[in-house]
Structure 1
Amino acid sequence: MELYAIRRRSAWANAEELEKAAGVSAKVGNEEMPDRVRWIRSYVVAEPDGRLGTICIYQARDIDSIREHARRVGMPGDEVEAIAKTVVVRSDPEEAAQAAG
């Protein structure tokens, strides 16, 4: 599987909507498409219009699998980019703080 970044702009009105979508997303990926997509992490973005968006990192067989997963979940999946290489300078701050505590 390859690594992909998905930008979902202004997709949710609030954190509750986002959490509900995340639950459906995990279920669809884990139960319906485990051999095609694997959700790695998401960064939640406060959008200029007051809504929430995300930048999601997935492993997937191909872009069509990412789009099919998004369709089944009912969320945007049009802005998808293949990740050529990962460069980690530092761990995500939250993860580093949790590991130290």
Structure 2
Amino acid sequence: MDLYVIRRPSAWANLQELEAAGAKSARIGDTEMSDRVRWIRSYVVREPDGRMGTVCIYQARDVDSIVDHAARVGMPAENIVPVVDTVIVRADPVGDAVAA
């Protein structure tokens, strides 16, 4: 599987909507599509319009698998780009370090 970045701008009104979508996404990915899609992580951002957006990292067989997964979940997946390389300067912060 290859690595992809998916940008989902202003997709959710609040964190509760995002959490519900995340739970459904994980369930569908793990139970229905585990051979095609693997959700690695997501970065949640507050968009200028006040809604929640995400930048998601997925492993997938191909872009069509990501689009199929998103359709099953009911979330957008129009902005998908393959990752060419990874540069890690520092590990992602955890706990209070990510709180705004």
1:89-100 matches, cutoff 5 A: 89-94=89-94
Partner of 2:28: 28
Corresponding residue for 2:75? 75
- Structure 2 equivalent of residue 19 of structure 1: 19
Structure richer in helix, relative to its length:
1
Superposition misfits of 4+ residues, deviation over 6 angstroms: none
* Aligned residue identity for 2:18: L
Backbone CA RMSD of aligned residues: 1.0
Shift of 1:53: 0.2
TM-score normalised to structure 1 length: 0.93
Gaps of 5+ in 2: none
> Aligned residue for 2:62?
62
What TM-score results when the alignment is normalised by the length of structure 2? 0.94
CA distance in 2, matches of 1:78, 1:71: 11
Alignment: residue pair count: 96
Q: Tell me, in whole angstroms, the C-alpha distance in 1 between the residues paired with 2:17 and 2:40.
A: 20
**Structure 1, unaligned stretches of length 5 or more?**
none
Matched, 1:84 2:56: no
How far apart in 1 are the matches of 2:66 and 2:22? 15
